[in-house]
Amino acid sequence: MARWLTLLCCLLGSVAQAEVLQDPTEPLEGVNSQAGAVESQSAGLPKLQSVVLGNGPALAVLNGKSYRVGQQVEGYRLVAISADAVVLEKGGKRQSLTLFASKVRI
């Protein structure tokens, strides 16, 4: 009986001392994946969803529709398309929309 009690204490002691492991794919604290969408919508800007670069003209998908440079997007003119961002212009002011958050988790 004493052996079982000793074994039980050893096993329970190791469980009590176990370290909680963090998920390495968990988003950064304080960073909301929807934050960019919320900021974009609150500012009245369209949401950049995708960029297509290839042999033909570059395309940007904003709010579910495809656009090329020079086209109008909800009152903005699409000025430039790069691999991960687009530039919109309205009333002489330029706004840049990016696909990804600038924070990188290491």
Domain residues of the chain, as ranges?
46-101
Q: For residue 97, what pLDDT is reported? A: 93
Question: Which of 2.30.30.830, 2.60.40.1120, 3.30.1490.20, 1.25.40.20 is the CATH number of 46-101?
Answer: 2.30.30.830
Q: How far apart are CA 46 and CA 64, in angstroms?
A: 10
**pLDDT tens over the chain, length 106 residues:** 788 888 877 777 666 566 777 777 776 665 555 544 445 554 688 999 999 999 999 999 999 999 999 999 999 999 999 999 999 999 999 999 998 766 655 5
Encoded tokens for 61? 């998908």
Q: By the 8 A CB rule, do 27 and 41 touch?
A: no
Stated pTM of the model? 0.57
